[in-house]
Amino acid sequence: MELSKLLMPGAVRVVGQLTGKKRLFQELGEMAAQAYGLNAATATDGLQEREILGPTGVGHGIALPHTRLYDIDRIVAVFLRMEKPLDYDSVDRQPVDLVFGLFAPKDSGVEHLKALALVSRTMRDAGICAKLRANTDPDKLHAILTEARSTQAA
C-alpha cells in the first residue's frame, strides 16, 4: 500500500483557519466529495460519529480523522494544512495544524487498519511534518507526503 494510491493531488488543501472541529470535518467531507465523488454530508457525518468514540488528535499538531462508509469502493485520503492551528482535544492537548483524513469502505477491515498505520507512520516522521509546515503549495505538500512512502511486508 502506498500513499500515492490513497491520496490524489486534488485532495490536498491549505486553509487559513477553521472555526472548530465540526467545520474541519465539513471541509474534509467537501474535499472528499470534490476529489473522489463521495457524498459530502455522509463523509462529514462519518467523521463526526467516529470522533465521538474518541479524539483522533494523535499529538504534535497532527490529527488523523477517519471513517468507514457504505458508498465507497476503495480507501481514499485527504490532507489539510491549517495556517492557524485548531484546538482539537488531542492526546497532548496541543492544537492541530496537519490533518490527514481517511475514508474507507464499511467492510474494509484489515485494509483500513493498514492504511491508518501507513498514514500514522508517515505523520510520525518529524522531517516530513517540518516540510509540510514549511510549505503552502498543495502540489508540493502532495509530493512530500507521497514520495517513497509505502508499507513494508505488513
Active-site residues, by number, are 66
Contact predicate 14/138, CB 8 Å? yes
For residue 21, how many other CB atoms are within 10 A of its CB? 21
Amino acid identity for residue 76 in this structure: V
Task: Report the number of secondary-structure helices (H) and strands (E) in the chain.
Answer: 6, 6
Question: Which of the 8 DSSP states describes residue 109?
Answer: T
Dihedral angle over CA of 141, 84, 122, 43, nearest 10: -90
Contact predicate 35/76, CB 8 Å? yes
> Residue 98: beta bridge partners?
62, 81
Contact predicate 57/91, CB 8 Å? yes
